[in-house]
């Protein structure tokens, strides 16, 4: 049976800035991709030295709700903003693990909400 772990922002060493500009360029690109997906999932994300490998881009599935109205996202995202706890936990996990792959990331409202990680027993 797989080992389930829950990561919380309090468990991740806090970044002194905790904002978008404090992320690496690859982390910023992945965060923007999460935001553009909105609702859906990403599969097969590889990371090395705590940074996502985005070439080739992991497989993305977007959930489209046919009868709901969603508020349009800003066409011009802010240059810098405070990171939500979900981003801090996600990127903290990548930094802590250093190298690996994430089989599945569930994305809800542009935020990484859950993920499945394959581990060797």
Which pLDDT tens digit goes with each residue over 55-112? 999 999 999 988 876 655 555 577 889 999 999 999 999 999 999 999 999 999 999 9
Residue 120 has pLDDT above 80, yes or no: no
Residue 39 banded pLDDT, cuts 50, 70, 90: very high
pLDDT, position 75:
52
Identify the domain containing residue 85 by its residue range: 18-63+81-116
Domain contains 12: no
pLDDT, position 67:
82
pLDDT, position 3:
43
Domain contains 75: no
- Assigned token pair, 49: 């030295």
Domain contains 109: yes
d(CA 11, CA 88): 10
Spell 8-17 as b/e; 16+ CB within 10 A means b: eeeebeeeee
Q: Which residue has the tokens 């553009």?
A: 36
- Assigned token pair, 63: 């959930």
Domain contains 70: no
Q: Give the chain's domain count.
A: 1
Pick 19 or 7 by higher pLDDT. Answer: 19
Q: How far apart are the first and last CA of the chain?
A: 10
> Which residues, in sequence order, are CB contacts of 85 under 8 Å at separation 6+?
8, 9
């Amino acid at each position: 049976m797989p080992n389930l772990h829950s990561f919380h922002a309090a468990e991740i060493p806090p970044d002194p800035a905790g904002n978008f500009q404090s992320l690496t360029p690859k982390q910023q690109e992945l965060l923007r991709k999460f935001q553009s997906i909105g609702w859906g999932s990403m599969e097969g994300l590889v990371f090395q030295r705590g940074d996502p490998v985005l070439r080739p881009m992991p497989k993305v599935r977007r959930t489209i709700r046919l009868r709901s109205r969603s508020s349009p996202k800003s066409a011009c995202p802010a240059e810098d903003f405070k990171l939500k706890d979900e981003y801090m936990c996600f990127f903290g996990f990548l930094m802590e693990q250093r190298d690996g792959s994430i089989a599945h990331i569930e994305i809800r409202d542009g935020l990484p909400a859950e993920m499945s990680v394959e581990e060797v027993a």
